[in-house]
């Protein structure tokens, strides 16, 4: 088997397609940088502690497994119940839209190919829809 064939067979997940560990880390860091500075995200930024280090690590670990890479979150914390983790916060349509705004901008800013952004956007939207609780 040629090296080119081995590479294409190994790159079978979104995790690989968006750059593996480095790509996911860049996406998460850019996402939280936007959340930390964009006026449109102030409502969701207020849901987080001042220091975003732990939450950055948590989202990185979660997305790693969710995108088909190493299941870092599960290995460290067990199976995630993201609805329970987000229940204390008012997550309405405005919060969902703000989260999606940050993620869509982050995907563009870290140069995730449009075809992958187009696949990820509805998947991220389903997560946001699931988390809405309207308190």
Check whether 67 has a pLDDT greater than 70. yes
Contact 62, 80 (CB under 8 A): yes
pTM for this model (two decimals):
0.89
Render 17-84 in DSSP notation, one character per residue.
Answer: HTTHHHHHHHHHHHHHHHHHH-GGGHHHHTTS-S--HHHHHHHHHHHHHHTTS--HHHHHH-S--HHH
What average pLDDT does this structure show over 87-99? 95
What are the CB-based long-range contacts (under 8 Å, 24+) for 21-28?
Answer: 21/64, 21/69, 21/70, 23/110, 23/112, 24/60, 24/63, 24/64, 24/67, 24/69, 25/60, 26/110, 27/63, 27/106, 27/107, 27/110, 27/112, 28/56, 28/59, 28/60, 28/63, 28/106
Check whether 75 has a pLDDT greater than 90. yes
Check whether 1 has a pLDDT greater than 80. no
Check whether 134 has a pLDDT greater than 80. no
What integer best gives the mean pLDDT of the chain? 92
In angstroms, rounded to a whole number, what is the distance separating the alpha carbons of residues 24 and 69?
Answer: 10
* CATH superfamily entry for domain 18-131: Globins (1.10.490.10)
């Amino acid at each position: 088997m040629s090296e080119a064939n081995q590479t294409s067979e190994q790159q079978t997940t979104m995790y690989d397609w968006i750059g593996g560990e480095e790509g996911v880390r860049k996406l998460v860091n850019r996402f939280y940088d936007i959340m930390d500075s964009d006026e449109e995200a102030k409502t969701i930024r207020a849901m987080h502690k001042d220091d975003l280090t732990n939450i950055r690590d948590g989202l990185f670990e979660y997305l790693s497994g969710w995108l088909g890479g190493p299941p870092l979150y599960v290995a460290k914390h067990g199976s995630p119940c993201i609805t329970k983790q987000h229940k204390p916060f008012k997550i309405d349509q405005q919060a969902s839209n703000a989260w999606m705004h940050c993620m869509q901008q982050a995907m563009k800013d870290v140069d995730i190919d449009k075809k992958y952004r187009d696949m990820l956007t509805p998947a991220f939207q389903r997560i946001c829809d699931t988390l809405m609780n309207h308190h």
